[in-house]
Copies of this chain bind each other. A is one copy, B any other.
Amino acid sequence: MDEQILNRLTQDILGRIFIELEASARHVHITREQAQTLFGHDLTPERPLSQPGQFLAKERVTLQGPNGKFYNVAVLGPARKEAQVEISLSDGRVLGITPPIRQSGDIQNTPGAILVGEAGTVAIREGVIAAQRHLHLTPDSAARFGVQDKQIVRLQTYTARPLIFEDVIVRISSAFADRAHLDFDEANACGMQKGDLGRILP
């Protein structure tokens, strides 16, 4: 068998048992109108992300809170119906914002922030969250792991500082690739390196 086939086989077998861990750095999602205000044009894809159709934009923003700011913050596309800012609790301390732990999209009564782009500024009234750790699974993988959409599972990490995350929420969609998404606090707490794996505990 050639190298490519062997690699594919290894991936397929590992994918039956493990889920790749991925750390999400602080980032923002914005609306098309906000992209116009911030940059004077729509978002431009720089590179695709692991989730099909999602991309890292070439455009960057400064993210401001009452106590501090971060420059050069990633903007993810495509544009959404509502802005959402995903930060870690550590980031929150720097900004002076206490983000609630929420699922993506669940932004009612969350804090706001200020976004500054090269062409303008947008103050969002709500949308700052720390994303609840979650699994993206395809329906096939979910069936194999025996889990349902929105089920809460435990995730064991095979990392330098191993731990078992509780309260990990499962999201299932045929538009997904199998990935466990952590924020940087969580990635550091388990000593995660790129490519590290995790396993759903029964």
Contacts and interface: CB of A to CB of B under 8 A. Distances in A.
A160 B189 CA distance: 15
A166 B162 contact: yes
A164 B166 contact: yes
A73 interface: no
Interface in A166-197: 166-167, 184-186, 188-191
Contacts of A89: 188, 191
Interface in A111-159: 132-133, 154
Given A188-B185, A188-B189, A189-B188, A161 B101 contact: yes
A90 interface: yes
A166 B167 contact: no
Chain A interface residue count: which class? 20 to 34
| Residue of A101, A133, A188 with most chain B CB atoms under a 10 A cut-off | A188
Contact of A90 (B161, B165, B185): B185
B163 A165 contact: yes
A88 interface: yes
A98 to B, nearest CB: 11
**7 residue pairs, one from A and one from B, having the closest CB atoms:** A189-B189, A185-B188, A164-B164, A89-B188, A162-B166, A186-B189, A185-B189
Interface of A: 88-90, 101, 132-133, 154, 160-167, 184-186, 188-191
Given A101-B191, A162-B167, 12 more contacts: A90-B184, A90-B188, A101-B161, A133-B161, A161-B166, A163-B166, A163-B167, A164-B164, A185-B185, A185-B189, A186-B189, A188-B189
